[in-house]
Amino acid sequence: MPPHDSILARAALGTAHALGKACRWCARRRFEVAPAAASASLTGLSWLHHVDGVSLPEHGVYGLATLAAGALAAGGLKHKHKALATAGAGSTAVMADAWVGAALGPSVPSLIASALVTGGAYAAYVPWLVRSRRDQLALQVKAAKAGVAAEGLGTNTLAPGLTGATREETALMQALVAMLSVPAVDVTALEYTRFGWRAVIVLPPGRDTSPHKVIARRDQLATNLGLPGKLRLAKGEHDNELVAYLYESDPLASPIPWPGPSTRTCTEPAVLGVDAYGQPVLIPLLYNHTLIGGATDNGKSGVQSVLIAYAVACEDAEALLIDMKPGAVEFGPWRRSALALADTPSRAMQLLKTVWAEVERRGALLAELGEKKWIPGKHGPAWFVFIDELAELIRRVPAAAKLIESLLQVARFVGITLVCATQSPSNRVFGGSTDGRQQYQVRIGLGAKESTTSNLIFGPGAYGDGWCLDELDLAGKFLRWDREHQEPVDARAYWMTEDDVAATSHRYAREEESTEAREHPEPSPDPDDDPTPPSRPTPPSGGPGGGRPLLRAVPTFPDGSEIADERHAALWQAIEKAGPRGITVDDLVALDLPQFAARSSVNGPLGQWRRKGWVEEAGKHGRAMAFRTAPRLPVAKVPTAVEDSESVTIGG
- Selection from 121, 73, 120, 113 nearest residue 97 by Cα: 113
Quick one: DSSP state of residue 348? H
Domain boundary among 200, 227, 247: 247
d(CA 341, CA 388): 11
| Domains held by the chain: number | 4
When pLDDT is cut at 50, 70 and 90, the band that residue 424 belongs to is low
Q: Could you tell me if residue 346 is inside a domain?
A: yes
Q: Do 107 and 197 have their domain in common? A: no
Is residue 299 a known part of a binding site? yes
Q: Do 120 and 223 have their domain in common? A: no
Q: What separation in angstroms does the CA of 43 have from each of 86, 90, 110, 214, 598?
A: 21, 15, 8, 46, 77
Q: Is the pLDDT of residue 396 over 50?
A: yes
| Mean pLDDT calculated for residue range 584-602 | 79
Q: Is the pLDDT of residue 346 over 80?
A: yes
Q: Is the pLDDT of residue 614 over 70?
A: yes
d(CA 297, CA 561): 40
Q: Could you tell me if residue 541 is inside a domain?
A: no
State percent of the chain over pLDDT 70: 80
Cβ-contact 70, 88 below 8 angstroms: yes
| Mean pLDDT calculated for residue range 41-62 | 83
Mean pLDDT, rounded, of the chain: 79
Q: What is residue 545's predicted lDDT score, i.e. its pLDDT?
A: 40
Least reliable range by pLDDT among 27-41, 228-242, 284-298, 571-585: 27-41
274 or 547, higher pLDDT: 274
Q: Do 106 and 171 have their domain in common? A: no
Is residue 499 a known part of a binding site? no
Q: What is residue 495's predicted lDDT score, i.e. its pLDDT?
A: 94
Cβ-contact 219, 179 below 8 angstroms: no
Residue 619, classed as helix, strand or coil, is strand
Q: Do 350 and 461 have their domain in common? A: yes
Q: Do 50 and 182 have their domain in common? A: no
Q: What is residue 651's predicted lDDT score, i.e. its pLDDT?
A: 46
- Selection from 531, 536, 532 nearest residue 500 by Cα: 532
| Mean pLDDT calculated for residue range 46-74 | 82
Q: Do 290 and 388 have their domain in common? A: yes
Number of other residues whose CB lies within 10 A of the CB of residue 345: 17
Q: Do 472 and 344 have their domain in common? A: yes
Q: Do 418 and 296 have their domain in common? A: yes
Q: Could you tell me if residue 418 is inside a domain?
A: yes
Is residue 296 a known part of a binding site? yes
Domain extent for 125? 23-142
Q: Could you tell me if residue 285 is inside a domain?
A: yes
Q: Is the pLDDT of residue 607 over 60?
A: yes
Q: Is the pLDDT of residue 542 over 70?
A: no
Q: Is the pLDDT of residue 12 over 80?
A: no
CATH number at residue 483: 3.40.50.300
- Selection from 369, 341, 241, 242 nearest residue 648 by Cα: 341
When pLDDT is cut at 50, 70 and 90, the band that residue 525 belongs to is very low
Domain boundary among 490, 507, 524: 507
Q: What is residue 4's predicted lDDT score, i.e. its pLDDT?
A: 55
Is residue 119 a known part of a binding site? no
Q: What is residue 146's predicted lDDT score, i.e. its pLDDT?
A: 54
Q: What is residue 544's predicted lDDT score, i.e. its pLDDT?
A: 37
631 or 86, higher pLDDT: 86
pLDDT in tens, 68-95: 878 887 887 888 887 777 777 778 878 8
Q: Could you tell me if residue 645 is inside a domain?
A: no
When pLDDT is cut at 50, 70 and 90, the band that residue 39 belongs to is confident
Cβ-contact 266, 317 below 8 angstroms: yes
141 or 124, higher pLDDT: 124
Q: What helix, strand, coil percent values describe the chain, rounded to 5? A: 45, 15, 35
DSSP string, 223-282: HHH--SSEEEEEE-SSTTEEEEEEESS-TTSS-EE------S-TTSPEEEEEETTS-EEE
Q: What is residue 143's predicted lDDT score, i.e. its pLDDT?
A: 58
pLDDT in tens, 431-468: 555 556 778 999 999 998 888 888 888 888 888 888 88
When pLDDT is cut at 50, 70 and 90, the band that residue 128 belongs to is confident
d(CA 626, CA 533): 26
Cβ-contact 393, 344 below 8 angstroms: no
CB pairs under 8 A, 24+ apart, for 245-249? 245/196, 245/197, 245/198, 245/276, 246/168, 246/196, 246/197, 246/198, 247/195, 247/196, 247/276, 247/490, 248/195, 248/196, 249/195, 249/196
Q: Is the pLDDT of residue 363 over 90?
A: yes
Q: Do 138 and 175 have their domain in common? A: no
Q: What is residue 532's predicted lDDT score, i.e. its pLDDT?
A: 47
Is residue 294 a known part of a binding site? yes
Cβ-contact 172, 155 below 8 angstroms: no
Q: What is residue 342's predicted lDDT score, i.e. its pLDDT?
A: 93
Terminal Cα-to-Cα distance of the chain (whole angstroms): 52
Q: Could you tell me if residue 629 is inside a domain?
A: yes
Q: What is residue 537's predicted lDDT score, i.e. its pLDDT?
A: 41
Is residue 415 a known part of a binding site? no
Least reliable range by pLDDT among 167-181, 329-343, 606-620, 633-647: 633-647
Q: What is residue 157's predicted lDDT score, i.e. its pLDDT?
A: 44
Q: Do 431 and 372 have their domain in common? A: yes
Residues in a beta bridge with 274: 280, 492
Q: Could you tell me if residue 268 is inside a domain?
A: no
Q: Is the pLDDT of residue 549 over 50?
A: no
531 or 71, higher pLDDT: 71
Q: Do 457 and 491 have their domain in common? A: yes
Q: Do 328 and 463 have their domain in common? A: yes
Q: Is the pLDDT of residue 373 over 90?
A: yes
CA atoms within 13 A on the CB side of 179: 26
| Mean pLDDT calculated for residue range 384-393 | 91
Q: Could you tell me if residue 150 is inside a domain?
A: no
